[in-house]
Structure 1
């Protein structure tokens, strides 16, 4: 006899903004998908910095309390809403961050998400790997391939390079024949970043970033800079950028005001471009191209999602605290 679906499920929510301890696991009625939605039976959840900021009330969208959270999960589609192709039922898929943070969330035993935010991934990947691809590769694709037109021989600076997005950018640079210059604050991650394919690694606590980039590039500077940190560091990045180069700012990890490097911008004709993944997922053609690019490079073995550490769902608070420690190299995954 078929096993009955439990009437209740465990869902992670927070009832107030703040530190990781505000996260709690609530027992809730099994949710049903509405029109255009599916219910995913979750097997693994990929954590992202955006979720830490959302939990703290410092994100682009503000939580409606009590709030769910989370963009990336992998699992099996077990129910579909009105207007959704029933062929999705029973398929293994993962969620793409193509929905508002304040309307949906995937931390839990099940997740209700829009059908357009589902994507099948290469069958060779585990659930843990399958939840560790879309945010990082699509974010990097949008800036480096779609906008930046990264090509063979280009020099590119990647800050916060040990993050999952940073590692994705290193892999994209290698696939395109570009030269990646990864940065990390301490020497502890240098060897691992080189092993992951970075052509050069600058330890910013020990080295002058701009001077080292100019040395590596023969005085020309980097054509592209891919930066989620912002803050005062943008001034050094501007010095390190080539004439008519572009700095992509896709985050605000510094949590401080970001000065505009006026004189460097004027003298070099720099472009400083604010950018988020949502520019990719909101354009159907670019979205489709980015998914195809990612899928094909994973299949070819050019891209391999790196899972740093896994936690069970019962340790979601510890998983968030670990993310905030900045100790990881790659993706933090929660298993369900």
Structure 2
């Protein structure tokens, strides 16, 4: 029987276990997807550890909000899709029952998008959440335009590297922020116009140096925490701050730049809107075709090594996405 990753209690990576479950037939309006690969995200780690933003039903909870595979079966009333189509899971808000940490899952037909041609399963598994989040925050909310100077925190992570590429595709100027000088070369190679390493320089002063004294037009922040007030001073007067994560779990300080337009962007809210999904899917497919957009993969694990994949993510050192092949 197909295998599924579940957990019966919250805790460390060791609470995850692999079980066998029968194949489920897709209901009306659903498709069944044979999963080829899925990404391991910080949200998965938080849920497993008992830090979920909403209650999780135990036991036998599941994980996984993004993945890719091939349509294996169609439910009644499904049109426009066929068995054998390679797809990306576009949203899994009901991941407790139909998570991507599995060899098969069923989802509503409207919650898959075609896998861009030329993108293999590992890269495709790492595309949707990071790139959707970066695009949604920068373009849909932040109104990013060609020439905008965009300051990107946690730039070595999946969303950060996606934001660098998306800024370049638009014609904006991505300025990457990292805690470690050792990552400067990698971020420049990833497309950053400049890199600010906070272990050697002040982010506000360095941003003004890279922007001719003006400050960033847009800040994309995945960290939050008490450093948010200081970070806000790196923006120009009348600039935009878009927050997309909470890597620092401590309470966030209030932005010290009162002229900022602030967006708290939660990508999963947009991922269930079919109009937004079509727009983002078209943008990403175009970027993949042109070669500008390509996920950065830090490490790939086998399905049997899901516990090790979570342990690796918990170290907090990935430069790109962690992917598991099913």
Task: Please name the residue that 1:173 is paired with.
Answer: 167
Contact 1:9 / 1:109 at 8 angstroms: preserved in 2? yes
Task: Please name the residue that 1:4 is paired with.
Answer: none
Task: Please name the residue that 1:115 is paired with.
Answer: 109
Q: What is the deviation of 1:98?
A: 4.8
SS of 1:319's equivalent in the other structure is helix
- CA distance in 2 between counterparts of 1:189 and 1:97 reads 31
Task: Please name the residue that 2:124 is paired with.
Answer: 130
- CA distance in 2 between counterparts of 1:233 and 1:274 reads 16
* 2:310 aligns with one of 293, 297, 320: 320
Task: Please name the residue that 1:191 is paired with.
Answer: 185
Task: Please name the residue that 1:221 is paired with.
Answer: 215
Q: State yes or no: 1:23 paired with 2:16.
A: yes
SS of 1:87's equivalent in the other structure is coil
- CA distance in 1 between counterparts of 2:307 and 2:322 reads 12
In structure 2, runs of 5+ residues without a counterpart are none
- CA distance in 1 between counterparts of 2:247 and 2:27 reads 35
Coordinate RMSD, CA, aligned: 1.5
Q: What is the deviation of 1:57?
A: 2.5
* 2:63 aligns with one of 56, 62, 69: 69
Contact 2:117 / 2:289 at 8 angstroms: preserved in 1? no
Task: Please name the residue that 1:272 is paired with.
Answer: 262
SS of 1:143's equivalent in the other structure is helix
Deviations 1:7-41 (A, max 9, x none): x2110011111111111111222222223222211
Deviations 1:34-88 (A, max 9, x none): 2322221111111211111121222333321121110111111112223323733
Q: Which moved more, 1:157-166 or 1:82-91?
A: 82-91
Deviations 1:221-276 (A, max 9, x none): 11111111100110121111111111111111101111213xx333xx11222111
**Alignment coverage as a number of residue pairs:** 325
Q: TM-score, normalised by structure 2?
A: 0.95
Task: Please name the residue that 1:88 is paired with.
Answer: 82
Q: What is the deviation of 1:147?
A: 1.6
Taking the TM superposition and a 5 Å limit, the aligned residue runs for 1:196-207 are: 196-207=190-201
SS of 1:259's equivalent in the other structure is coil
SS of 1:165's equivalent in the other structure is helix
Task: Please name the residue that 1:157 is paired with.
Answer: 151
Contact 1:38 / 1:81 at 8 angstroms: preserved in 2? yes
In structure 1, runs of 5+ residues without a counterpart are 1-7
Contact 1:93 / 1:118 at 8 angstroms: preserved in 2? yes
SS of 1:174's equivalent in the other structure is helix
Q: Which moved more, 1:235-244 or 1:24-33?
A: 24-33
SS of 1:197's equivalent in the other structure is coil
Q: What is the deviation of 1:144?
A: 0.9
